[in-house]
Structure 1
Amino acid sequence: IGSEAREGDIVLAEPAPQGAGRHFGPKPARVTEVLGRMGEAKSVSLICIHAHGIPTEFPAEAVAQAEAARGTALGKRTDLRATPLVTIDGEDARDFDDAVFAEADGSGWRIIVAIADVAHYVRPGTALDLEARRRGNSVYFPDRVVPMLPEALSNGWCSLRPKEDRGCLFVEMRFTADGEKIGHRFGRGLMRSVARLTYEELQAARDEAREPQDLEAGHTARLYGAFEALLGARTRRGTLELDIPERRVVLSPEGEVLGVAPRPRLDSHKLIEEFMVAANVCAAEELERLVQPTMYRIHDRPSDQKLEGLRQFLQQFAINMPPGNQLHPRNFSHVLAMVKGAPHERLVNETVLRSQSQAAYAPDNIGHFGLALARYAHFTSPIRRYADLMIHRALIRGLKLGADGLTEAEATEMPAIADAITGTERRAAAAERDAVDRYLAAFMSSRVGETFSARISGVTRFGMFVAVDETGAQGMVPFSAMPEDRWEEDPATQS
């Protein structure tokens, strides 16, 4: 009632008042907004956005503050514009948070990671800040991004676009040839990215021994040399290395699903990951040195209950796990190495993943189990994560880099903010999974009647979950729908 909605529209609605007496059947509702039409590709993400309560509209005051932003002057900043920093991101990225540089330093390596200076534009307590905190993070769907910051900042003044001056917070790190850190220093700078590269372009430059346009000779080799040193340190540290292929939904310009493709995992992805992990560790260490409030990124060891379930599962394959108090991430990686190439490799990887605790944000440190790190914080993505903005403000305050650092009120609110942004992160992940599932369902609906290779991914009392190898789509097969035959459930092996 009360709208111009038509049959087949997807709408938002609220309960409408009813008269006195008993009422049966569908209840009246008032349509508040028409989102789109059933069957329209763009409607998929809209459904997920509203179903999960993802904020989409920015308050007018926040938009005005973002649009009033202008470039950053050098002032007391360190001038990094002569340093050939480059951004390396996905093909469709527009919010460039980070830029990197590496060079030989004696027998070791010098690495600079420069991060967008979001704190310069988003001041504590402003409309921009309050809205960013409410959102907690950007949300990425196959066909769109719901940003944490208005586009004037996220894709504009904060984004480290090539050939444009941008303010940044940077960390300069020095490592031995074996990837062990010798020292680091933080600063506030003015930089100018020399190139915007994709992961594929950087990988091709490495594989084909040629430099991308705008990069000097040897630039790629130095980046990969530093990466290999850091990778060696990671291997010795013994991190949890899961091998679960990611898939991405491929859309047409009109938003129709063309297919599902594996998301490549290139060395260039790992390079940026290692540079960012190193910078994040430095941020946590620096804030502890400065005795500043810290928003740690924590990851607890698996619970005893989950470990016991995992042990029982692995015993089916004659694999044993050490006791919980002796458990280290490398134990899980050892298990995964044992099943590499086996028919049950994927199942073991997924079961190990399900046994892990969820990562979270917290002002009290318990370390990061998966990365095998004693301390860790998120510093490298302040355009899309509020936690990183908090870390920037704490560094600015501790290092006396400006008047826009962490306030006492924020320091007091740190536990509540940590809980809130942990919640928004999980909300975003659920919405993103929901959207991918809906796109996959739409894609598979056009292939009803075809035969696919699939595997059992889980078993319950009333049916089994089956995952299609080609697309990753999952569905429930009720036992009641299966042919009349004798079926024996083995919960331990999920079969």
Structure 2
Amino acid sequence: MDFPSDQDLIAYVERENAERKTPVDRRDIARAFGIKGPARTELRATLRRLEDEGKLALDGKKTKKPGQLPPVTVLSIEKMDSQGDLVCKLTKDDSDAEVILFSSEAAKQKPPLGVGDRFLGKLHQDKGRVRATVIKALGKPAGRMLGVFRSTRSGGFVEPVSRKTKTSFEIAKSDTGGAEDGDLVWAEPKTQRGYGPRRGRVAEVIGSVDEQKNLSLIAVAEQDIPVEFPRKVIAESEALDLEASKHHKDLTALPLVTIDPASARDHDDAVHAEELEDGGFRLTVAIADVSYFVRPGTALDREAEKRGNSTYLPDRVIPMLPERLSNDLCSLREGEVRLALCCEIEIGAKGGKKKHRFFRAKIKNHQNLAYEKAQAIEDGAMEGPETVRTLFKAYRALVIARERRQPLDLDMPERVIETDKNGNVTGVSRKERMDAHRLIEEFMVLANVCAAETLQEHDREAIYRVHDAPDLERLDTLKEYLEGLGYSLPKAEDVASKNLNSVLQRAREREEMDIIAMSILRSQSQAVYDTKNIGHFGLSLKHYAHFTSPIRRYADLTVHRGIVRALGLGPGAERDEDSLRLQTVAEKISQTERASIQAERDTAARMLASYLEEQTGAVFPARVSGITRVGLFVSLDETGADGFIPARTLGWERFEHDEKRNAMVSEHSGAAYTLGMPVKVRLLEVTPVQGGLLFEMITKAGEPEEKNAKPARAPRAKKKPPLRAEKKKPVSRHEKAKIAASRSKNKKRRTDEEAEDTRERRAAKQAAEKKAAKERENEKRRGKPSGPRSDRREGDRSRRSGDGDAPAKFERRPRKGAAGKASARRAPARKGPAPRRGPPKGTR
């Protein structure tokens, strides 16, 4: 068969690619035209020529017409257009063609496809544009990374913002996606063969990294927290109105008030207290009736479940529900009628709960109070409604009940990062805790208990807030650490919250609250959501569920639906299929809660690092907040910023991590850096994008817990009796073993040194005697007297007078030209170091 013409090759490629799922390759072409042997070389050359002329495109061994899209390929979703459809690009092709994935097609997948996802799709020509249908969802690409784009001549590269990611991507000009130098971008890897730098492409541009307001976006993107609401969710929320049902009783005359932070925009709880004749109180806790508006199975419900909770960052809030609900219909605004699910509770004069009931109602918030204003009214510093003083009376009764059950009392001031209108940090303040804060907390805890008990009484499956008892091994470690500081705890299996409270109370008296509270917090297990009720260790409660914040927590919304279903309170109740998947929901929202907490911590770290960048080189007071094998973590007293000090920089001594003591201990002196120890540190390096602070330790390590005995070679002194008996601090088995090993090692070293010293002196003396004897024998044979003159003739330059028993050191300096004679008379070379002068080491 003759070699095919250019037109034949092009026609074959077009025809085959239109019918096949993958482009034809050279092997297909050779088989179709019967090309064998040496003619294959000519085929390769022809295909390359056609590519250079722009008539064909080669993809490795595969061939296609330029601009021709494969019928089936992997696509990446880049963005959403104005119609809500998804714009995609080919991941394994250099084509800039945009492919449309209709939102209805994306919604067929479970979960629905979104920006950043990849899928295997089939391409179709549709009215002048290319659309795709999904064959298989592939999820987000492995190795997708948030980073900072750095521009170069050839395109650029992306540096990761996460301290956990060490790899960067090299970006070609065609893959920059419009990113400019210093932009925050999402980058993903490209398929490549062989070795060399990892190649990638910019999938999404977020904004400039130099702006502090974008630092929170880094944390949000890292934790995959959705920011924008889908159009359908917004449309559902805008269609809602404030129309009460027949199940909402009119309670607008009850003078309910809200007590919240001054900056709060979403008010989801209002309270009221009425004093009873027997000295007890009737409490009303009214919570926004979110379940009435967010019905199960709607787009609003699916989005709320996906988010799990609102995320509160120093410079922004990412709500669980759209603003139409969170700041309007469900927010208990002052002077406006709103719908609520109410819990009415009767308590005795000493705070014990007598009974409770739930009902739906129309309410009115008669006054919105900030915590500071409510406290001022109670203290008499400001005029206010009498209901506020009644609330505080009821609170004092609840405090009596609280003291009886002894919940864990970690009541510490909170640090707040303050920002200006542009999102830049202006400082850090400490918000002191007031009784107004504790009042609302006690009311909310009591309502949560009532919700859990109601669901259990009606045998409803529910999501509880559970907190398991601390791990016994952690408690053993905590016990040893506290005993070293002069505190005491019972055995791990007998520890209850009241024991930990005793330690905390003593720590307050000794002004060591920060240290001790930090240690106790680290020993606790994490509170989670679960359908299996195991109680709440920290609150010392057997039944506890979140009920009071349905605007910002999905767990509370599920509890509302359960109560509505159990008590028959109307629309918005839990469905049968909802109760069957509550455990799955509990696990999911536990994860979203952790993601939000991590985003808050990471944002605070980055903002504080950016704030402190101009103070590099300054010295700060701090406390040791964490100890690991590789170094110390410290927390600055003023701002609470956390940083790291590598162990290798702590000084000339080598430090070792003692896990039992939770300390970094010097192997030489036994001095240690312990958890909570106050120190002075110098700021060396700041990396705002990673939120990293690198410090240098200025404070020397503290004295060891027990000083070792004096060395054995030192003269012993009589011990003076102490003026008063002192209680020795307990020494751990680890310390005893270290001391014994050190003493044994020192004793062996001294013994070896003395033995070596003795051998050297004996060898030197024997060599000198042997040399002197040989000299006398030689002089006797020659018949010449021994003395200074003969010594000089034989090469001794010492000018010394004396007999033939000269020390060996004078015999080892031969004269030039007399090497042969001198070497015959030189004393044998000694092995090891030269003998020491004076008495042996260890006898001085």
TM-score after normalising by structure 1: 0.95
CA contact (8 A) 1:72 1:165 kept: no
Distance (whole Å) between structure 2 residues aligned to residue 343 and residue 200 of structure 1:
26
Aligned to 1:314: 482
User: Shift in Å at residue 304 of structure 1?
Assistant: 1.2
Aligned to 2:598: 430
Deviations 1:111-160 (A, max 9, x none): 10000000011110111101101110000001111110111111111111
User: Shift in Å at residue 244 of structure 1?
Assistant: 3.8
User: Shift in Å at residue 403 of structure 1?
Assistant: 3.1
Deviations 1:216-239 (A, max 9, x none): xx2221010011111111011111
How do 1:62-211 residues align onto structure 2 when only pairs under 5 Å count? 62-73=233-244, 75-106=246-277, 107-211=279-383
1:240 aligns with 2:408: yes
Distance (whole Å) between structure 2 residues aligned to residue 364 and residue 48 of structure 1:
32
Bigger drift between 84-93 and 123-132 goes to 84-93
Distance (whole Å) between structure 2 residues aligned to residue 313 and residue 473 of structure 1:
25
Aligned to 1:45: 216
Bigger drift between 55-64 and 172-181 goes to 55-64
Distance (whole Å) between structure 1 residues aligned to residue 458 and residue 545 of structure 2:
15
Deviations 1:55-94 (A, max 9, x none): 1122221111111111132533111100011111112211
Q: 1:341 to 1:470 in 2, by over 3 A?
A: farther
1:467 aligns with 2:635: yes
Distance (whole Å) between structure 2 residues aligned to residue 229 and residue 442 of structure 1:
46
Would you identify which runs of 4 or more consecutive aligned residues in structure 1 move more than 4 Å? Answer: 485-491
User: Shift in Å at residue 486 of structure 1?
Assistant: 6.3
Distance (whole Å) between structure 1 residues aligned to residue 478 and residue 394 of structure 2:
37
1:389 aligns with 2:557: yes
CA contact (8 A) 2:346 2:356 kept: yes
Distance (whole Å) between structure 1 residues aligned to residue 187 and residue 299 of structure 2:
28
Aligned to 1:339: 507
Unmatched runs of 5 consecutive residues or more in structure 2? 1-174, 664-673, 675-844
How do 1:480-495 residues align onto structure 2 when only pairs under 5 Å count? 480-485=648-653, 491=659, 492-494=661-663, 495=674
* 1:339 aligned counterpart, secondary structure: helix
Distance (whole Å) between structure 1 residues aligned to residue 336 and residue 561 of structure 2:
24
User: Shift in Å at residue 208 of structure 1?
Assistant: 2.7
User: Shift in Å at residue 422 of structure 1?
Assistant: 0.9
Aligned to 2:189: 15
Distance (whole Å) between structure 2 residues aligned to residue 192 and residue 153 of structure 1:
17
Distance (whole Å) between structure 2 residues aligned to residue 370 and residue 109 of structure 1:
26
CA contact (8 A) 2:461 2:531 kept: yes
Q: Which amino acid aligns with 1:6?
A: E
* 1:396 aligned counterpart, secondary structure: helix
How do 1:411-430 residues align onto structure 2 when only pairs under 5 Å count? 411-430=579-598
Aligned to 1:261: 429
Bigger drift between 451-460 and 117-126 goes to 451-460
1:32 aligns with 2:200: no
Q: Which amino acid aligns with 1:136?
A: G
* 1:258 aligned counterpart, secondary structure: strand
Deviations 1:259-286 (A, max 9, x none): 1111221111101000000100011111
Distance (whole Å) between structure 1 residues aligned to residue 202 and residue 552 of structure 2:
33
Q: 1:246 to 1:210 in 2, by over 3 A?
A: closer
Distance (whole Å) between structure 2 residues aligned to residue 274 and residue 243 of structure 1:
13
Distance (whole Å) between structure 2 residues aligned to residue 72 and residue 262 of structure 1:
42
Q: Which amino acid aligns with 1:339?
A: A
Distance (whole Å) between structure 1 residues aligned to residue 425 and residue 282 of structure 2:
44
CA contact (8 A) 1:211 1:220 kept: no
User: Shift in Å at residue 335 of structure 1?
Assistant: 1.1
Distance (whole Å) between structure 2 residues aligned to residue 487 and residue 342 of structure 1:
29
1:229 aligns with 2:397: yes
* 1:43 aligned counterpart, secondary structure: helix
User: Shift in Å at residue 344 of structure 1?
Assistant: 4.0
Distance (whole Å) between structure 2 residues aligned to residue 369 and residue 199 of structure 1:
28
Aligned to 2:170: none
1:54 to 214, 225, 230: 225
How do 1:354-373 residues align onto structure 2 when only pairs under 5 Å count? 354-373=522-541
Q: Which amino acid aligns with 2:558?
A: M
Aligned to 2:718: none
CA contact (8 A) 1:316 1:493 kept: no
Bigger drift between 110-119 and 84-93 goes to 84-93
Distance (whole Å) between structure 2 residues aligned to residue 262 and residue 395 of structure 1:
38
Q: Which amino acid aligns with 2:181?
A: E
Aligned to 1:272: 440
CA contact (8 A) 1:244 1:350 kept: no
How do 1:451-462 residues align onto structure 2 when only pairs under 5 Å count? 451-462=619-630
User: Shift in Å at residue 493 of structure 1?
Assistant: 4.6
Distance (whole Å) between structure 2 residues aligned to residue 488 and residue 220 of structure 1:
56
CA contact (8 A) 1:280 1:378 kept: yes
Q: 1:374 to 1:247 in 2, by over 3 A?
A: same
Aligned to 1:410: 578
User: Shift in Å at residue 327 of structure 1?
Assistant: 2.5
Deviations 1:154-209 (A, max 9, x none): 11111111111111100011111111111111100110111111111111222235
| Structure with more contact order per residue of length (Cα contacts < 8 Å, sep ≥ 6) | 1
1:445 to 603, 613, 622: 613
> What is the Cα-based RMSD across aligned positions, in Å?
1.5
Larger Cα Rg: Structure 1 or Structure 2? 2
1:478 to 646, 667, 671: 646
Aligned to 2:466: 298
CA contact (8 A) 2:179 2:185 kept: yes
User: Shift in Å at residue 452 of structure 1?
Assistant: 1.1
Distance (whole Å) between structure 2 residues aligned to residue 2 and residue 8 of structure 1:
12
Distance (whole Å) between structure 2 residues aligned to residue 287 and residue 196 of structure 1:
31
Deviations 1:33-68 (A, max 9, x none): 221212201111100000111111222211111111
Distance (whole Å) between structure 2 residues aligned to residue 454 and residue 187 of structure 1:
51
Distance (whole Å) between structure 1 residues aligned to residue 390 and residue 383 of structure 2:
11
Distance (whole Å) between structure 1 residues aligned to residue 216 and residue 292 of structure 2:
32
Distance (whole Å) between structure 2 residues aligned to residue 50 and residue 248 of structure 1:
23
